[in-house]
Amino acid sequence: MRLFTRIAISIFISTTVPILLLYLTVSGRVSFQTDMIVILTTGLIMMIWIYSSIVRPLEALRKATQNIKDGNLDFTLDVETDDEIGELTADFEEMRIRLKESQEEKLISDRESKELISNIAHDLKTPITTIRGYAEGILDGVAATPEMQDKYVRTIYNKSVEMTGLIEELTFYSKIDTNRIPYNFIRLKVRDYFDDCADEIRLDVEGKGIRFDYNCSVDPEELVIADPEQLHKVINNIVGNSVKYMNRDLKIITMNISDIGDFIQCDLSDTGKGVAKKDLTLIFERFYRTDASRNSSQGGSGIGLSIVKKIVEDHGGRIWASCEEGEGLTIHFILRKYVSPVGEQES
Ligand SMILES: Nc1ncnc2c1ncn2[C@@H]1O[C@H](COP(=O)(O)OP(=O)(O)OP(=O)(O)O)[C@@H](O)[C@H]1O
Ligand SMILES: [Mg+2]
């Protein structure tokens, strides 16, 4: 019932009942006591009616306003009537829901930007460590021959180019509104791409006394849709871990690329210390390290594989790890093959 109707009914009852009673009393049909009882009962009913339909909802609204003022948005306002106060309550509830949504969005965005900064700091740490290692090699005279010096300087140069790219990426992120990775997906020839990666990995790890075995059994024409730079990050992080956790005399890293129907699978294995079965899924979680005290001395922050997982999943792929008792770790990931639409194939 609308508020106007309610007020009109109240006024009507509170004026007509006494007039009617006065008439009945004067004409001797009801006694004075009956008058009193009827007037008091009518007044009580009117009070309860007005209280429950106007005062109570207004009190609930006042409490809700107080809650919002104190920054608490975790409550619900029930709409009990269909009058103007009910409409006001419904609007108020909608405003609360919107405020709560925008508060949650802000929290997510803050978390994402923190994550992003730590991801980029993590990515920058890798080339900086390499540059430092190779510069120290030159200073300490480890690179004795001109060929070795040339190789060291080239690596320093390549890594500094990589850093420039990362800093550009950071500038780009800070300019866009969203904190998400702006992927640049293109069609990649699987074999060409992984052949180039393998050359780069070989150059990097063989300098550290690690053998690198590479095998690709994929058709040269096979394609995937991927962002080459982000995929590069995936491989660099996995290989970086293999190098970091290689604690045996037999040091081998293997990269196997195979065709498994609708997907291309990449398996990266090492002969390092491996990971216990119970940790195989946990290593992809942010900040998870199987041996925190030891890794911290090796500079690990436990975010490398979480970035890797995110990138692979953003590509529509899947990633997992396996490790046989007493053997090194293998990281597997799959990417869906690109199948060109029928029309495109014909043309
Ligand atoms: N190849 C590997 N051999 C043995 N353990 C590994 C290997 N790769 C990862 N791990 C384990 O998984 C954990 C998580 O790896 P992740 O790359 O996420 O972090 P991190 O290497 O410790 O630090 P960050 O990569 O952030 O510098 C590592 O701390 C390590 O315990
Ligand atoms: Mg790592």
For 156-192, write each residue's pLDDT tens digit.
998 898 888 778 766 766 665 555 677 899 999 999 9
Ligand number nearest to the C-alpha of 243: 1
DSSP string, 11-80: HHHHHHHHHHHHHHHHTTSS-HHHHHHHHHHHHHHHHHHHIIIIIHHHHHHHHHHHHHHTT---------
Binding site membership of 288 for ligand 1 (Cβ less than 6 Å): yes
Mean pLDDT for the stretch of residues 16-36: 86
| Mean per-residue pLDDT, 52-73 | 89
Q: Is the CB of 305 under 6 A from ligand 1?
A: yes
Which residue did the predictor score with more confidence, 136 or 347? 136
CB-ligand 1 contact for 119 (6 Å cutoff): no
Strand, helix or coil at 108? helix
pLDDT tens for 91-142 read 999 999 999 999 998 898 888 778 777 877 888 888 898 899 999 989 998 8
Q: What mean pLDDT is predicted for residues 281-302?
A: 71
Q: What is the CA radius of gyration of the chain?
A: 36
**Which of these, 237, 163, 170, 168, lies nearest to 197 by C-alpha position?**
237
Asked whether 319 lines ligand 1 (CB < 6 A), one says: no
Contact 234, 333 (CB under 8 A): yes
Mean pLDDT of 6-27: 86
- For ligand 1, whether the C-beta of 330 sits within 6 Å is no
The CATH number of 186-347 is: 3.30.565.10
pLDDT at 225: 95
pLDDT band at 296 (very low <50, low <70, confident <90, very high): very low
Q: State the chain's mean pLDDT as an integer.
A: 87
Of all ligands present, the nearest one to the C-alpha of 307 is 1
Ligand located closest to 123 CA: 1
pLDDT value at 345 more than 60: no
Q: What is the mean pLDDT of residues 223-238?
A: 93
When pLDDT is cut at 50, 70 and 90, the band that residue 15 belongs to is confident
Least confident of 70-79, 123-132, 286-295, 323-332: 286-295
Residue 27 has pLDDT above 90, yes or no: no
Q: 338 vs 189, 193, 335, CA distance in Å?
A: 10, 14, 9
What is the structure's pLDDT at 231?
95
Closest C-alpha residue for ligand 1 atom 19: 302
Q: What is the pLDDT of residue 297?
A: 46
pTM to 2 decimal places: 0.65
The rounded Å distance from CA 200 to ligand 2 centre is: 18
Among 81-90, 225-234, 236-245, the range scoring the smallest mean pLDDT is 81-90
- Summarize the confidence of residues 53-66 as an average pLDDT: 89
Residue type (1 letter), 28: G
